[in-house]
Amino acid sequence: MKPQHIAPFFATLQAANPHPVTELAYTSVFELLTAVLLSAQATDVGVNKATRRLFAQASTPQAILNLGLEDLEAQIKTIGLYHSKAKHLLATCRILVEQHAGRVPRTREALEALPGVGRKTANVVLNVAFGEPTMAVDTHIFRLGNRTGLAPGKTPLAVEMGLLRRIPPQYLVGAHHWLILHGRYVCQARKPLCGQCQVAAYCSYKAKTTR
């Protein structure tokens, strides 16, 4: 993607969705962290169904610990990899209670020290909960970074670094949401809906397919 196309690319996405938000349901920073931790290899719809049940019974680190492993697994068993996710969530809750007074920390280092929390999850929490200009590269953003020519890279970290360098500062906080939603509903993996794409004029992939 040409440098002069990047700002209008994001300006167009912003105009269509001025206040983008995650599709994960949450009412606190801890609920957000829990939902993101559970979302690996699962859809937001599936996670929301499970967390709706879970948060009705336990919505704080201590309450999750009080559930115990067996009851926690029963609440999230509809989500893939629920055995390992339940263990990670319990271990994370224990650290939050013992080391952070039950609060979710605001630094990358402390977030990534939590079991089951990697760079992508930390980036989501820092961006969504705390308004930090981070870029959580999931499969959608990785695909868009390469397909559109916005930030080509062979690894998620390479795409993340490229996006942080190329996206104008005024769009960085919302860019994570705009790109995920665009990848989920328009620039889909198997068959991108280029005919419905509002930013096709700025996209390297669209330019290649129309030559």
* Active centre residues (catalytic): 120, 138
Amino acid at site 16: A
CB 144 within 8 A of CB 138: no
The residues, ordered by sequence, that sit 6+ positions from 137 with a Cβ below 8 Å of its Cβ are: 120, 123, 145, 156, 157, 159, 160, 163
Residue with tokens 């890279």: 153
Length of the chain: 211
Q: DSSP state, 21?
A: -
Q: Which residues contact 70 (CB under 8 A, 6 or more apart)?
A: none
Helix, strand, or coil here: 146? helix
Query: In this structure, what are the phi and psi dihedrals at residue 39, rounded to the nearest 5 degrees?
Result: -85, -5
The candidate with the shortest Cα–Cα distance to 50, out of 21, 29, 81, is 81
